[in-house]
Structure 1
Amino acid sequence: MQFSLIISTLGRNADVLEFVRTIEAQTCRDFEVVIVDQNDDDALAKAIPTLGPSFPLKYRHVPGVRGASRGRNIGFELAEGDLVCFPDDDCLYPPHLLDDALALFASKGVDIVCGRAADQNGRDINGRYEPQAQAVSKANVFSTQIEWMLFFTRTAFKAVSGFDEDVGVGASTPWQANEGQDIVLRMLEHGFRGWYDPALFGHHPELNVVHPDARMRKKARGYARGMGYVLGRHGYSFGYFVRYVVRSIGGIVLSLLKLNGARAAYYAHVSAGRIEGYLGGRRGAMKHARLESTSIGQGRAQ
C-alpha cells in the first residue's frame, strides 16, 4: 500500500462523504482511506456502508474523543500505507495529487513532502506560502505547509510518535493550530528531510479574514496561540517571533485606516494570541529542559 489518507472528523459528515466520492478520481490507485469519526451520533457510521468505494475504506467510531491530532494518531494505528497524509474533513484533493506527491518523494529522496492550500484557480488561500520549490527548514516551516497538505513516510511519523495531541484544533489546550509545523520540526530535529513544492496543492473553503465575524475572530486567537506556542517550544529567537507580531499589528493599523473594524479586531486577536502562545511555549520548553536535566543527573548518580 502506497498511501494511507487519514481523516479525523467532527460535525462535517457531508464533506467527508464528498471527499470519499471525489477521491475515486485519483490517477494513483494504490491508496486507502481511514476515517476516525469523533461524532457522538452514528449518522456517519450509517452512511459509510452506502459508499461502496473501489479502494479500501476503514472506519473507526470514537464518540467523545476530541482533537484533530488525537484522531489522526488513532487513524494511524489502522493505516497500512508506506506514506501517510491527513486530509481535513472539508478539503478536496485534485485527481493528480497523490501521483505528484509520490513523484516528489522519489525524485527528492525525502521523508516529508509539503504543499499548499489553493482555490479552484490555484490562488493561495488560508496562509502565506513560498512561491518557489525548496527544501523545508526551521527557517521556512511556517510558509511551506499546511496540515492537510503534508505527506510523511511511515518511518518518519513513527519516529516522532505522531502528532502532539496537546496541539491543534480541538485539543484540550489553548494551542489550537500549527500541529503540522510542530511535527515537521520534530522530524527535522530527528534528521529527516522535507521538500516543499507550490505546484502541489489541494482545495479547501477559504477563511473569511476580510470581514471576519465574531466566531472567526475567536478562532483566530486560538490559531495564533498555536503558532506562538510552536515558536516558543522550538526555541525560535525573540526577533523571529516579533516579526510575526509586528505583521499582525500592521494588519490592525491598515484595517483601521480602511475603516474595517472587524478586521482590525481580528488582527488584534492574532497579535494577542501569538504573544500568549509564545510565552506558553517558552515556559513549556524550559520545563522540559529542567525535567531532562534532572533525569540525566539522576541517571549519572545511579
Structure 2
Amino acid sequence: MAGNEILISLIVSTRGRTTPLERLFESFVAQEYKNFEVIVVDQNLDNCLDPLFAGQRWPFPLRRIRTPQESGLSRGRNKGWQYAQGEMIVFPDDDCWYPSWFLARGIAQLEATGADFLSGRAADQEGNSINGRFEKVPQPIDRDNVWTTGIEWTIFFKRAALAKVGGFNPEIGIGASTPWQSCEGQDIMLRALSQRLHGYYDPSIYGHHDSFDIEAESGIQGKGRKYGRGVGHVLRVHKYGFLSALKWIGRPMFGSLLFFVRGKIKHVQYYRNVAIGRFEGWSGWVIGAR
C-alpha cells in the first residue's frame, strides 16, 4: 500500500488550553503529508474553544467531540480514536507541536520497519532531547528499553494494534481519577508487547514541547511527585522486580544528591519528590493527598 493512500487520524484530548492548541494546529497545516484528519475531544466545562472551530479556518478535516462530563487525558484519547477513520493513529498532546516532516517520516518508518507501532522522542527546536532520557540509536522496543524509547504523543499506532490492546488505560495519565498521573505511554507499549505486537523506536522521529523549567515553573515539585507515582505504578502492575524498582527509584535520588552538591536546591527538591512518587507508585502506598 502506498504511503499517500494511508489516512492518519490525529486524536487530541484537551482541557484548559487554548493558545497551545493554535500552535499545534498551525503545525498540522505545515505538514508535508496531507492525508490526515484531526479529532479534538473537548473536556472543557465552558466554550473557550469555540473560536478555534469557528468558520472554515483550518484546511484539514476537523471534528470536535464535547465531553465536559469526563476528564482525563487517556479517557479522552480513548473516546476520540473510536471515531477515527484512519489506518494509522497518533495522539498529539494539546501543548506539543510537530516539525513539517513528522507525519511523512513517521508513516514511512512504520512501513519500512514493519512494526505495529513506532515511537519517537521529545525535542526542542534544535532537535535536542528534552523532558526525559531517550535512546540515541534506532532499536526494537522491549521491556528493558521501553522507559527510554518513546513518549505517547510521538507514537504511531496501526489501528489493528491499538484495537488489540484496547487503547490507553483510563486510570493512568494526567487528569485520571487515580494518583497515577503519568506513564500511560509506557503502559500501552508494555501491554502491546505482552500481546506479541512489535514496536520500534527511531530517534529521528520527534515532536516539540516546552522544556520543564525546574527553577521557574510553578507547581513543578508537585508535578514531579505525581509523575513519579505513574512510573512506579507501571513498574508494579507490569511486574518489574525489586532491582528494577531500585534502579528507577534510586536514579532521581542520586540526581538529588548531585544537585545538592551544586547548590541547586529546587532541583534537589524536585528529584527527591520524583523518587518519593516512584516509591509510592511501586509500593501502592500513597502518602498524603493526590
Question: What is the TM-score with the length of structure 1 in the denominator?
Answer: 0.90
Distance 1:21 1:61 in 2: 22
**Which stretch of the first structure deviates more once superposed, 14-23 or 113-122?**
14-23
Contact 2:107 2:156 in 1 (8 A): no
For 1:127-142, what aligned pairs fall within 5 Å after superposition? Answer: 127-142=132-147
Out of 218, 221, 226, the position equivalent to 2:225 is 221
Please give the secondary structure, in 2, of the residue aligned with 1:224: helix
Query: Structure 2 counterpart of 1:108, which letter?
Result: T
User: In the TM superposition, what is the alpha-carbon distance from 1:214 to its structure 2 partner?
Assistant: 5.5
What SS class does the counterpart of residue 92 from structure 2 fall into? coil
For 1:17 and 1:255, how far apart are their aligned partners in 2?
Answer: 37
C-alpha spacing 1:214/1:16, structure 2 compared with 1 (3 Å): closer
Check if 1:257 corresponds to 2:278: no
Which residue is equivalent to 2:238?
234
How does 1:76-87 map onto structure 2 within 5 Å? 76-87=81-92
Out of 7, 10, 13, the residue aligned to residue 12 of structure 2 is: 7
Query: In the TM superposition, what is the alpha-carbon distance from 1:14 to its structure 2 partner?
Result: 1.6
How far, CA to CA, are the matches of 1:265 and 1:214 in structure 2?
A: 13
Q: Give the aligned partner of residue 244 of structure 1.
A: 248
CA distance in 2, matches of 1:266, 1:9: 26
Question: Which of the numbers 53, 63, 75 marks the counterpart of 2:58?
Answer: 53
Q: Say which structure is richer in helix.
A: 1
**Would the alpha carbon gap of residues 143 and 51 (structure 1) be closer, same or farther in structure 2, given more than 3 Å must change?**
farther
* Greater Cα radius of gyration, structure 1 or 2: 1
**Superposition deviation, residue 213 in structure 1:** 4.8
Quick one: which amino acid aligns to residue 48 of structure 2? A
Taking structure 2 as the reference length, what is the TM-score of the superposition?
A: 0.94
Q: Is the 1:253–1:264 contact (alpha carbons within 8 Å) kept by the matching residues of 2?
A: yes
Match of 2:153 in 1: 148
Structure 2: 5+ residue stretches without partners? 1-5, 286-290
Contact 1:117-1:204 within 8 A present in 2 as well: yes
Deviations 1:226-276 (A, max 9, x none): 000001110112101111111111111111111121111111111110011
Counterpart of 1:178 in structure 2 is 183
- What amino acid is the match of 2:174? V
Deviations, residues 185-213 of structure 1 (Å, cap 9, x unaligned)? 0011111101101011110011113x255
Q: Tell me how many residue pairs correspond in the alignment.
A: 280
Q: Is 1:35 paired with 2:40?
A: yes
| Distance in 2, Cα, partners of 1:51 & 1:117 | 31
How many angstroms apart in 1 are the aligned matches of 2:27 and 2:130? Answer: 21
What secondary structure does 2:97 align onto? coil
Unaligned runs of 5+ in 1: 282-302
Whole-Å Cα distance in 2 between the matches of residues 65 and 228 of structure 1? 25
What residue number does 1:205 align with? 210
Alpha-carbon distance in 1 for matches of 2:78, 2:69? 15
Runs of 4+ deviating beyond 4 Å: none
Q: Deviations over 1:161-207 (max 9, x none)?
A: 11000000010000000001001100111111011010111100111
Deviations 1:84-134 (A, max 9, x none): 010010111111111111111111101110000000111110110001000
Counterpart of 2:68, as a letter, is P
For 2:205, what is the secondary structure of its paired residue?
strand
